[in-house]
Structure 1
Amino acid sequence: MATTIPTPKPALDKPLMHYGRRVLDRTAPGNSPTQYQILDISPLTLHIGAEITGVDLSQPIGDDLAEELRQALLEWKVIFFRDQHAFGPEQHLALAGVWGAPEENPFFPKSGTAGVSRLAKDAMAIGNENIWHSDHSFMAAPALGSVLRAVEVPPAGGDTMWADMAVAYDNLSASMKERIDTLTAVHDWVPSWGSAMTEDRVTRLRQTLPPVEHPVVVRHPRTGRKVLYVNEPFTTRIVGLSDTESRELLGELALQARIPEYQVRFRWQPDSIAIWDNIAVQHYAINDYYPQRRVMERIAIAGVPLS
C-alpha cells in the first residue's frame, strides 16, 4: 500500500512568509548588468554581495574607478575588498567621499579622525544577540551608505550579514504591496539606543533627534527601485493604523529581512573592507565570538530625505 505524504501546513493560520519560488533580481526590471573595465567582480550570491579584486584602495581614486565603484554598489548593494593593508583614515575618508560627505553617528565613539567611528568589542563584553537594521533610519535624511574596515577580527565568528530589501519587497504578495505602498511609518532611536540612557540625556538628544516619518516603501534615491523600508529596532509604528494593526503589520514586514534567500554573509579578515547601500539593505553583525576581540572602523555617508 502506497504511503501518502501529507502536505506541510504552516504553523500559523495566517503565515507571515510565503512558500514557494522567490524572484531574486539583482537590478530593477529593464536594467542590464554593467560591463566593468577596471573592477574584477566575484559574486557571492546572484543578487546581493560581490568581492572586488584588482584595486588598491590606498591609492588615489580616479574618476573612472569612482564611477565603476558607484555602479558596482548600485548593482550588488554590498561590495567587499580584502588585503587593503595600507588603508588608513585618510584613505577611508577618500573612499567614502566617492559617494558623499561623512555623517556622524551620535551614539558611536569616535576614532580620533573626524567622521570615523571605532566599534570595538573586547573580551569583557559578553556577546548579545544583534538585530536586523538600517543605519540612521531614525534621522530625517538617513545615511546613504557605510564603509566598514576590519582592524582586528576574532579567529572565528564575527561575520556580518546583509539582506536585500528590494528583493524583499519584490516577493511580497500583490495584496500586501497594495496595502503598504502609500503608508508611512515612524522611526525613533529611543526604544533602542535610549534604553541604556538616563532620562536627562534622552531629553537633551530629543532636541536634535525627534521621531521622523518615512514611507514604508521608498524609491531608492539613485535607482528608483522600490525598497521595503522598515526595521526592527527603529520603526516604531505605522501612521494611521491602530496599535494592534501597526504591531502586526510591522512584525510581518520586519521578518522579511530574516529570509536566507535574500541575504549574503561575509567572513571578515584583517584589512577587509565592506561598503553597503544603506537604503537597499539591512545588516546584522553576528555577536558570536566571546571572549575574543573585534575592532572595526566605520564611516557613514550622508543621505537625503526619502520618498
Structure 2
Amino acid sequence: MSLDVRKLGDALGAEIVGFDLLRDLNEDTAAEINHVWAENCVLCFRDQQSLNPKSFLTLARIFGDVQPQLATSKEYSVPEVPDVGILSNRQTDPVSGAKIMRGGSWHTDHSHSAKPPRGTILHALEIPDKGGDTLFANCRTAYHDLPDNLKKFVGDRKAHHVYLSSRSPRKMPTLRDHEKHLDKGAWHPLARTHPVTNEKSIYLNPIRNEAVEGLETEQGFSLLDDLLTHATQQKYQYSHKWHLGDVIIWDNRSTLHAANFDYDQTQHRLMHRVMIAGEATY
C-alpha cells in the first residue's frame, strides 16, 4: 500500500494517515515508514487504541532492536512486558517519595549512555481534557542555520553527558544501589551525524551535560546555553496535541523534546513507552 503522509508542522513532524499498525504493517510498509521517519524526525499514527503492550513492543521492532528501560523497578514498566515503560503523572520516586514529573524540560533521551537510543515511541492511553502537549525541536535544521563561526567553534567538540547534571533544570528518579552502574556517563559530539541521512544535528541535553571538551566549565556551559537557545527557537518547534490512541516516535539523534505540565494534575496522563537501541555517536 502507498502511505498517506501529511506534514504536522512547518519545522518537523509527519502523520501517516489512516494506517492501522496491527493490520497494515508489513516488510514493505515498514521500510517506507522508516524512510518517512528519518526525513521528518517525528512520526505520528492516530487511533491506535487496539494496541496492547505486547503488540506495541512488536511494532516498535520495525525501527530497530528494543532498548531495555533504564529503571528496572516494576513501578516504571509493564510487569508482563518489562521492555514497555510506563509514564504517568501519578508516579512517585521509590526512594524519596517525591512526585516524578517526567520530561518537563528540553532533553534527548538517555544521552548519558555510550549508545543512546535512536528513537523513543509513546502510546497515549489516558490524556487530560486539555493541555499536556509535547514540544519537539528540529536540531538538524538548527545546526544547518548556525552561523559559520559558531559551526567552526563547535567543530568536533564533545560534551560530557552524565545521569544528572549539577545544573539540571529538574530532578531525575533516584538511582538505587543496583542501578548506580548506569551513571558512568559518556562523551558525545555537539554536532552529531545522523547515520541514515548523513546530516549533522546539534546534540546536547541540559539535564545531563556536565562539561564541554577543551573549554573551562563556565565557558562550556555558556556554549551549551547558546546552542540550546538557538535550537529551541519557535521556528524550529512543533507542538504535538495528544489524542487518545496516538502513537508517536521521535528521533533522539536529531531532536529535543519537552513535556508540558499545563494541565489539571488531578486528571491522569498515562503513556506506554518503548525505546529503540542506538549506535555509537560520531
TM-score, scaled to structure 1: 0.81
Question: Which blocks of at least 5 consecutive residues in structure 1 are unaligned?
Answer: 1-36
Q: Report deviation, 1:196.
A: 5.6
Q: Report deviation, 1:144.
A: 0.6
Q: Secondary structure at the residue paired with 1:98?
A: helix
User: What residue is the counterpart of 2:276 in the other structure?
Assistant: 301
The share of aligned pairs that are identical, in percent, is: 31
Structure 1 residue runs of 4 or more that deviate by more than 2 Å after TM superposition = 122-129, 190-198, 203-209
User: What residue is the counterpart of 1:50 in the other structure?
Assistant: 14
Q: 2:45 aligns with which of 68, 81, 88?
A: 81
State yes or no: 1:146 paired with 2:120: yes
AA of the residue aligned to 1:122: R
User: What residue is the counterpart of 2:29 in the other structure?
Assistant: 65
Larger Rg: 1
Q: Report deviation, 1:153.
A: 0.2
Contact 2:164 2:207 in 1 (8 A): no
224-233 or 100-109, which deviates more: 100-109
Contact 2:18 2:46 in 1 (8 A): no
What per-residue deviation string (whole Å, max 9, x for no partner) do you get for residues 114-162 of structure 1? Answer: 3100111139959798110000111000001011100000000111111
Q: Secondary structure at the residue paired with 1:57?
A: coil
Q: Report deviation, 1:60.
A: 6.0
Question: Which blocks of at least 5 consecutive residues in structure 2 are unaligned?
Answer: 93-98
User: What residue is the counterpart of 1:283 in the other structure?
Assistant: 257
Q: Secondary structure at the residue paired with 1:136?
A: coil
TM-score, scaled to structure 2: 0.88
State yes or no: 1:197 paired with 2:174: yes
Q: Secondary structure at the residue paired with 2:63?
A: coil
Q: Report deviation, 1:111.
A: 1.3
152-161 or 184-193, which deviates more: 184-193
User: What residue is the counterpart of 2:189 in the other structure?
Assistant: 215
Q: Secondary structure at the residue paired with 1:65?
A: helix
What per-residue deviation string (whole Å, max 9, x for no partner) do you get for residues 234-272 of structure 1? Answer: 112101211121121111112223211101111111111
Q: Secondary structure at the residue paired with 1:247?
A: helix
Q: Secondary structure at the residue paired with 2:243?
A: coil
State yes or no: 1:96 paired with 2:60: yes
User: What residue is the counterpart of 1:3 in the other structure?
Assistant: none
* Partners of 2:279 and 2:249 in 1: CA distance: 18
57-66 or 215-224, which deviates more: 57-66
State yes or no: 1:181 paired with 2:181: no
